[in-house]
Amino acid sequence: MPDCQIAEWDRPRSNASITQFPNPITKLPNYPITKFLLLVLSLVAASCGKVAEPRQEDLVVWRPLGTWSGAGPTQTGPFISDTGTLRLRWETRNPGSPKAAFKVTVHSDVSGRPLLVAVDHKGAGHDTTYVYEDPRPFFFVVESADLEWTLSADEPVAARGPASEKR
């Protein structure tokens, strides 16, 4: 076997200083602290990406269907309820006699037949009542004697919104 000689440039030097050459990708010196700083900066950048979305919850929003007022009997115009659930808010005031009365009957606008009596009250007052029927067009017949009245109808609509703070 022939003797191999190591070239002068390939031979280790005893007192040679180690030169840190830059990383070819980052162009930064290849010191351990540089690697640590790059890791820290990467983690900080990754944590800044997405802001947490606020919690959402199911809500019920009341869609107005109509408001009516008067001082005597009336029949409202027709309105369509997509859910069949109605919230009726009513108020009576200024009764003219002890016999003052207020009555609201819900009718189907398809057949015209009365479905139910939603309100039957004597004298001044206010309240909220709920009606549960099949979705359809409706109208109200208001019977009123000797008082002023206001009636409004709303229906619930499902929605999504921010969660309330109260639990």
95-133 pLDDT, tens digit per residue, is: 989 899 999 999 999 999 999 999 999 999 999 999 999
Cα(33)–Cα(84) distance, rounded to whole angstroms? 70
Q: Read off the pLDDT of each residue in 41-56 and give the average, rounded to a whole number.
A: 73
Q: Could you tell me which residue, 61 or 166, shows the higher pLDDT?
A: 61
Looking at per-residue pLDDT, the higher value among 110 and 47 belongs to 110
| 81 and 137 together in one domain | yes
> Can you tell me whether residue 4 is helix, strand or coil?
coil
What is the pLDDT, as a whole number, of residue 14?
Answer: 54
pLDDT band at 53 (very low <50, low <70, confident <90, very high): confident
Flag whether 40 is in a domain: yes
Which pLDDT score is estimated for 43? 75
Same domain, 14 and 39: yes
Q: Between the CA of residue 63 and those of 80, 116, 121, 155, 158, what are the distances in Å?
A: 12, 22, 25, 5, 10
% helix, strand, coil for the chain, step of 5: 10, 50, 40
In a domain, 61, yes or no: yes
Q: Where are the alpha helices (DSSP H) in 1-158?
A: 32-47
Q: Are residues 43 and 62 in the same domain?
A: no
Q: What is the number of domains present in the chain?
A: 2
Confidence at residue 106, expressed as pLDDT on a 0 to 100 scale? 98
Do the Cβ atoms of 72 and 143 come closer than 8 Å? no
Does 124 lie in the same domain as 97? yes
What stretch of H or E contains 38? helix 32-47
Residue 119 belongs to a domain: yes
Domain of 61 in residue numbering reads as: 56-162
The structure tokens listed for 130 are 């709920």
Q: Provide mean pLDDT across the span 24-41.
A: 67
Give domain status of residue 2, yes or no.
no
pTM of the model: 0.65
25 & 96 share domain: no
pLDDT of residue 39: 77
Task: Please indicate, yes or no, if residue 3 is contained in any of the structural domains.
Answer: no
pLDDT at 108: 97
Q: What is the CB neighbour count within 10 angstroms for residue 152? A: 17
- 57 alpha-carbon distance from chain centroid: 6
